[in-house]
């Protein structure tokens, strides 16, 4: 049986991704080997391939941080999992002695392939009613949003939320979580082409990121008060627009920087409105046991009750990994891009 593994040997576009036939390896202590059934693609992987992520890959590097599958073999001192268990691999990053993230974990534990070696502490059970595709589309979006918006937060006391990059899986996952707390959610997308679809999946209002009147529209929707909470993956000059339209004592959570343009941020509005800023990543949640376990349990409960429902935009086969990355780079998806191995 083939064991296809995706690697890249240089920085570049989707075409640098190559598939190799490799021997299956056994897990070490504290690890499991899974038969990968589906992969959830993430912008972090695009940025790693393009040389814009943390650390410098050691070539030829594996790639991939999220997957679902079936355990094929367990290493020593792994007692909570057994062969045949259906699981999800939750994204994580390694860190150095100075607390800086590194890409070492992706190179060692990359999930793009027919098999993957995964640390046992980073996996969770697959929800029984989920397909493997749905299971691979859940964890990066939900756990990132839970850690940034729910954990150690006063979300229950907030009434409105602005979410940028509205059609991305990360934004949709955040929208679903925020709605469980009863907030009104404004989705901000590059254009209004998907306005109808975005409202159908749960957004209360959809605005265009590039609209010159974006700030005015946000203020109009919030009756001139401004929003309580924002979840932003864009950054750049659009981050300033959020600062201008958040209400006093509001919270802006940034978890990405899709807009690479720099933009000056003046501190006076932050000070005068006592704005709270939080910069968050799923990797922070994964690093701390208490936070990780609380988040995983909360999300599993909501998915089991079908309150949180992963949305899949398009599915590719593993042999189409280059095409899948091209599709992801186009930014036209509505939900998660998923790759299946069979």
Which residue is associated with the tokens 């959830």? 40
Phi and psi at residue 253, in whole multiples of 5°? Answer: -110, 120
HEC assignment per residue over 176-237: HHHHCCCCEEEEEECCCCCHHHHHHCCCCEEEECCCCCHHHHHHHHCCCCCEEEEEECCCHH
Percent of the chain with pLDDT over 70: 99
pLDDT tens-digit map of 221-262: 999 999 999 999 887 778 888 999 999 999 999 888 766 666
Strand 101-102 vs strand 94-95: parallel, antiparallel, or unpaired? antiparallel
Mean pLDDT along residues 171-195: 94
Q: For residue 199, is pLDDT > 90?
A: yes
pTM score, two decimals? 0.93
Other CB atoms within 10 Å distance of the CB of residue 252: 20
> Going from the N-terminus, what domains does the chain have, and what CATH number goes with each?
4-138+310-340 (3.90.180.10), 142-281 (3.90.180.10)
> SS3 for 53?
coil
> SS3 for 7?
strand
Whether the CB-CB separation of 260 and 237 falls below 8 Å is answered with no
100-104, 111-115, 130-134 — which is least confidently predicted? 100-104
Query: Which pLDDT score is estimated for 29?
Result: 97
36-50, 166-180, 191-205, 228-242 — which is least confidently predicted? 228-242
> SS3 for 132?
helix
State how far the alpha carbon of 102 is from the alpha carbons of 30, 66, 149, 155, 278, in Å.
Answer: 20, 17, 25, 31, 21
């Amino acid at each position: 049986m083939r064991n296809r593994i995706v690697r890249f040997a240089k920085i570049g576009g989707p075409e640098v991704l190559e598939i190799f036939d490799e021997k299956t390896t056994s897990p070490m202590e504290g690890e499991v080997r899974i038969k990968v059934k589906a992969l959830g693609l993430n912008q972090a992987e695009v940025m790693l391939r393009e040389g814009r992520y943390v650390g410098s890959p050691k070539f030829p590097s594996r790639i991939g941080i999220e997957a679902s599958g079936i355990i094929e073999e367990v290493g020593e001192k792994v007692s909570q999992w057994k062969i045949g268990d259906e699981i999800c691999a939750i994204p994580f990053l390694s860190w150095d002695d100075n607390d800086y993230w590194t890409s070492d974990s992706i190179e060692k534990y990359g999930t793009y392939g027919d098999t993957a070696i995964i640390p046992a502490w980073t996996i969770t059970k697959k929800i029984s009613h989920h397909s493997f595709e749905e299971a691979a589309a859940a964890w990066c979006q939900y756990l990132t949003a839970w850690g940034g918006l729910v954990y150690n937060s006063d979300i229950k006391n907030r009434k409105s939320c602005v979410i940028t990059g509205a059609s991305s899986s990360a934004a949709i996952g955040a929208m679903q979580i925020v709605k469980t707390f009863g907030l009104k959610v404004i989705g901000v997308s590059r254009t209004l082409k998907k306005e109808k679809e975005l409202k159908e999946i749960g957004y209360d209002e959809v605005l265009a990121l590039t609209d010159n009147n974006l700030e005015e529209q946000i203020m109009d929707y919030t009756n001139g008060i401004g929003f309580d909470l924002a979840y932003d993956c864009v950054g750049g000059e659009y981050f300033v627009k959020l600062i201008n339209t958040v209400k006093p004592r509001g919270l802006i959570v940034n978890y990405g920087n899709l807009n690479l343009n720099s933009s000056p941020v003046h501190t006076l509005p932050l000070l005068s409105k006592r704005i709270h800023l939080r910069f968050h990543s799923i990797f922070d949640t994964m690093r701390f046991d208490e936070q990780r376990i609380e988040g995983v349990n909360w999300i599993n409960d909501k998915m089991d009750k079908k309150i949180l429902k992963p949305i899949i935009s398009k599915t590719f086969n593993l042999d189409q990994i280059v095409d899948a990355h091209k599709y992801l780079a186009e930014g036209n998806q509505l939900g998660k891009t998923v790759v299946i191995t069979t």
